[in-house]
Amino acid sequence: MARYQEIAQIMLTDISEGTWKVGDQLPSEQALSEQFDVSRFTIRSALDDLQERGMISRRRRLGTVVISTKPVELIVQEIHSVDELFQYPENTKREVLQTLNLVPDVSLANFMQCDVGSQWIKIETVRKTHKQIAVCLSEIYVPRAYKNVRDLVTKTSKPVFKIIEEHFAVEAVEINAEVLAGSVSQERASLLGVEPNSASLIMVRRYRDAKGKLIEVSVSEHPASRFTYSFNLSYKR
């Protein structure tokens, strides 16, 4: 085992046993290098290891802060085809937080790319692994005509647009996806189990039928330290 891995394991144990608690700031790289009698490069590698495990957050001018007392599972979504871009791993489960009727105002309608005053259902969900680690929070918008979807989303891990296709005799023929960088708000941080203002990966998806009508809009926010997309697509000339 490399020295930085040994140090990372020692620090992991200290955090797990409460030497450093969630919210505590770790000593500086210089102080840690003196404590372990190694270079700052070695300490930096050890901290990188802990950060990759989702246990610490490192931010310029704010230092290194403990955000979890145990390693967090990293979800890697491997993409081999276009269809897989819109799915999540099978070992995750969706839970509904709340649903409500919604009439988009001008701002929301512009974002969703729908008509102002149209009628929608908003379904807020959290997706978790079998270990109950939150993968993402999603806001799912579907036209009021598909309101029964809210009773179906927890019964299957299929994407919502697939559920709509199966139960409402429509087909998504155009899918627009946007990937954005964001930061987790105070309110959402507690639901995701991460530090407020930590980095997030946001995926916006819009699904349209053959007539160009929206059948779903979804916004999913993933903790950047816990989720990554890995693309492996064939390219032919």
Distance CA 216, CA 174 (A): 11
Give the pLDDT of residue 196: 85
pTM: 0.65
DSSP state of 208: E
Whole-number Cα distances in Å, 151 to 40, 50, 118:
54, 40, 21
Q: Is it true that domain 75-231 has CATH number 3.40.50.970? A: no
Give the pLDDT of residue 88: 62
User: What is the full per-residue pLDDT of the chain (237 aa) written as tens digits?
Assistant: 789 999 999 999 999 888 998 888 999 999 999 999 999 999 999 998 888 777 888 776 678 888 888 776 555 444 444 555 555 656 778 899 999 999 999 999 999 999 998 999 999 999 888 778 888 899 999 999 999 998 898 888 788 999 999 999 899 988 888 888 889 998 898 888 887 888 888 989 999 999 999 999 999 998 887 766 655 555 555
Q: Is it true that domain 3-66 has CATH number 1.10.10.10? A: yes
Give the pLDDT of residue 9: 92
User: Do 2 and 48 contact (CB within 8 A), yes or no?
Assistant: no
Angle between helices 3-16 and 40-52 (to 10 degrees): 50
